[in-house]
Structure 1
């Protein structure tokens, strides 16, 4: 529980995660029937980019800062930029006026319809309290101070049954991928019709490929991976990129995401060997 996302808000991993998340939510909303959204490792919901934590690492400058520097972002990433502007009314082309960065709880709440429901889980006690303050009172939203992995068993299947679980742990523990795999499979067993979006860091590509291939094999349902690396993923001691494993993804989401991924590749790759891809691990039946 040492991880605090305030140091990393708006970085390259956040950009990829939130661009994809908003498109998943949009796909769910093509139908008028209600959805239930679960964020297992929610954080505090909103981050101040002028804070000491954000300024210390300055990771947002190479993430959201680099994206907004290109005027084309407003066209290619329309939903994402619109969400940023909703939180930052003074946001101008080029990124001027960006002061706060939305975490996934804020984005999910912003997209809720009257008939939808949102459950947020955060284990860190101080962050859980901050999350409640940032999200505010809303009868459609429930905030739980609890372990997100345990929530995949305790809170699933949700009501309504259609929906999405976003899983974004800190990856602090050595066995995090093992624990994650067990939790995802348990959640999928209880909620086979649910969509699952699992964010993961990419340090050494071969290790990550082996993990996601095995998880997809055990899941035995349609699974794709959306990845962006800023350099060759060969050094296990540094963050080289990130990805989202999408289980039961929406129809044709690959076609929707590909131009966005191409744009992010052009803005965010920093060194030779970096790149972006959408990989099919298990095809739809």
Structure 2
């Protein structure tokens, strides 16, 4: 049984994030790249993918405004005052890095999808909005865990290439901020489930929606991005043990959303999404 999580504990966590982790300043980055061609060849597509995902934070905020019309203040404080300012800087820094490597600028998807708008129309019913909140937290936990794992490998990879400036002034500051985001989503999802606010039918519907709509970070429900994510997973070594990666990514929702399935380490749809992305990458490559 997970420790009880209180709303006050979540609020204090968000306040600490804002106080201790201000957005990374662009001028704090050392832009010295020793071997641009080598970095671009090995990690160029990975940096582009990460930059695009981070820059899509502005669309993510618009989606939250649609999905959570009666947003709780702590959620608003997190995404508006902490998460968005931090993430947009991550994206700008990574995008400038890839342009320093001679690559084109990232092209984020900034339009809110029709599916989100439909869900938003239903979210004006409080019972549906509570389901949307849970899915928001679970999605956040999954995507932030993927980010943490990616930046950890990227940091080591840059050191292997002798690119200390990139590792220490770009990747390291970014990866220090991501675990706090993951912790917010984990605690928020845990608190919502522990509170008993969600009725059995709401949890049942949340399971169905999650199973039908699960996407890996940055794939946006599109095959071209799924293929690119498969490439990222391959370059970073995650494709070598997909079940291990699925456990890392899907553990929280296995514990909270599928608690009645004793022994489940991760929901099957997580591994399914990973395998589909790898297959698409092998079929199409990065530039699908």
Q: Same fold (TM over 0.5)?
A: no
TM-score under structure 2 length normalisation: 0.31
TM-score under structure 1 length normalisation: 0.31
Judging by fraction of residues, say which structure has more strand.
1
Judging by fraction of residues, say which structure has more helix.
2
